[in-house]
Structure 1
């Protein structure tokens, strides 16, 4: 139990309240929308999603709370599973169960602007086919995600765009440098080779890993004035281990990272949101599609993309359709409010 004095100090300074208690208070505080996603993993792209969901919803006069991927419940009538590649069972079904339990547990449930890598197991397909038709709205960030849902259940799905497109270019003075982002190779994350083979489409994991690292080194050796921009702390670790280029310190800040990209003349983009940040800032890009979602957004930007374990030409392309994708991104929230009022 906590003394009256400690409770008093906690009310004056919430940071003094233990984290778990703060989390429980947050869940039970009434709010119009609860948004659940993978927002606290250290990934800048996921952080950007959380910021956009909260900002867009609050801008329209509603209260909103952001919750992490393990949250199953909150005190809200409107529950949102928001953005990110969240609907899949590539590493088991437990996280999928938690996500669907949350979004289906309120008066209204919405899946907004997500990616859908697909479903392998009969358990996941059964779960999705039972829960998704009960929801009030489903929007996805690309046609690939829509196909993966429609292959499991007949439910209305709208193709919009990733909410991160709603950021604006901070329009920083360019520094004559080439921004580089490589994520760690997938085999470093202790995931099963069978998953990697099925999902990423590689024939030989060891050979693909070696080629990927070789390609990253060759690109950095040949492009003008490279500088590495991490979108996760693990990106920085990868760069310091394998690349001989200037490396910016990882900073878990969307604003800082977007400004860094804005200062570049061009961008080598491997992570999904590093490509979106470059597109927002109007930079010529060299997209490296380590998985299908990167290829999908590159196609919508009308630029070629290249597999990381194949030959990669040093060819930067100017993006297109950014205004259209911003409009589609905004439609996520327009559709959300319309369905909330039904």
Structure 2
């Protein structure tokens, strides 16, 4: 079961043994629904999805456990790959294989994004697994089209489940919330394929233009306040921006309250835009990836790539009730399935 290398690692670092035993306990203890995803990466958006799936199933009477992205099996009757841009081959196919293994026997893929599946092996895994899935819902049309180009499985476009969060209606602080993420550490061909940038883009020049843009925006808005959605966001902001930067807290509740308090919001991370929409804040969205552009199209607002000209123009979001309905459909369709 364990290689010599695994045993040596455990002897050298006993905490790894405790972590592994805890994972085995979580997998084997009795539960009705197991949900696998990237919920423990420090990304607030991913954590929000994990907490939401836990709540949705638990409130409907199901014993539910949330598994990390390395888990490939559990003792649950129902297995769900839940939310996030998890179907891709950025770093090869091993993680993709683990995710698909988890749901391969009639499981559910719910509310996910599909940034891209470039390799022949990734496409083979999709073709061999998706026809066996009980229900597949994706958060945007681009994700649906990528999957449909690879296999004949039925795919339903819904919306990100995080739209089911509610506005905490905190007292306003008359600040302008801002969120930016670090620039990509990727080659131009990967920026082109997965993130829809021009295939001739110079990543170094684009990064410089992006940083110049966000510095200007922070100078032009009234009372900017940086709200991190990842520890990396805070580090990036403290390095490049001369504004007040809130300390990162790995708390969905706290982050949503921070967004609720501001008057308006410059958004970059996908879930910073969703949180701002849920809190009904005027937004200036920076679409660093196609998933953000897809979402701004559905919200009927204009977005801008990070390295291009970005006017200081905040817009009122539209169609929030429709997107909440589509987000509820993720669970409605699942509960109605014969295999749930």
TM-score (norm: length of structure 1): 0.92
2:38 and 2:248 map into 1 onto residues whose CA distance is 19
Which of 252, 255, 263 lines up with 1:254 in the alignment? 252
Q: Which residue of 2 aligns with 1:58?
A: 58
Q: Which residue of 1 aligns with 2:193?
A: 198
- For the 8 Å contact 2:37–2:68, the answer to whether it is kept is yes
RMSD, aligned CA: 1.4
1:326 and 1:214 map into 2 onto residues whose CA distance is 35
Q: Which residue of 2 aligns with 1:226?
A: 224
1:340 and 1:180 map into 2 onto residues whose CA distance is 44
- For the 8 Å contact 1:118–1:149, the answer to whether it is kept is no
Q: Which residue of 2 aligns with 1:297?
A: 295
3-state SS, counterpart of residue 257 of structure 1: helix
Instruction: List aligned pairs for 1:50-129, cutoff 5 A.
Output: 50-104=50-104, 106=105, 108-129=106-127
2:139 and 2:99 map into 1 onto residues whose CA distance is 18
1:213-267: CA deviation from partner (whole Å, max 9, x where unpaired): 1111010010111000000000000000000000000000000000000001000
- For the 8 Å contact 1:113–1:162, the answer to whether it is kept is yes
Q: Which residue of 2 aligns with 1:26?
A: 26
TM-score (norm: length of structure 2): 0.92
Q: Which residue of 2 aligns with 1:5?
A: none
Structure 2: state its 5+ residue gaps.
1-16
- For the 8 Å contact 2:175–2:264, the answer to whether it is kept is yes
Structure 1: state its 5+ residue gaps.
1-16
1:180 and 1:86 map into 2 onto residues whose CA distance is 26
- For the 8 Å contact 1:269–1:287, the answer to whether it is kept is yes
Which of 142, 148, 158 lines up with 1:150 in the alignment? 148
3-state SS, counterpart of residue 322 of structure 2: helix
Q: Which residue of 2 aligns with 1:13?
A: none
Alpha-carbon offset, residue 126 of structure 1: 1.2
1:126 and 1:18 map into 2 onto residues whose CA distance is 35
Q: Which residue of 1 aligns with 2:234?
A: 236
2:153 and 2:73 map into 1 onto residues whose CA distance is 24
- For the 8 Å contact 1:197–1:205, the answer to whether it is kept is no
1:297 and 1:193 map into 2 onto residues whose CA distance is 24
1:301 and 1:340 map into 2 onto residues whose CA distance is 33
1:59 and 1:322 map into 2 onto residues whose CA distance is 24
2:38 and 2:338 map into 1 onto residues whose CA distance is 23
Is the alpha carbon distance of 1:340 and 1:49 closer, same or farther for their aligned partners in structure 2, counting shifts above 3 Å?
farther
2:187 and 2:337 map into 1 onto residues whose CA distance is 40
Alpha-carbon offset, residue 193 of structure 1: 4.2
Q: Which residue of 1 aligns with 2:5?
A: none
Alpha-carbon offset, residue 198 of structure 1: 2.5
Q: Which residue of 2 aligns with 1:311?
A: 309
1:177-205: CA deviation from partner (whole Å, max 9, x where unpaired): 10000001112xxx444322322214111
Paired positions, count: 322
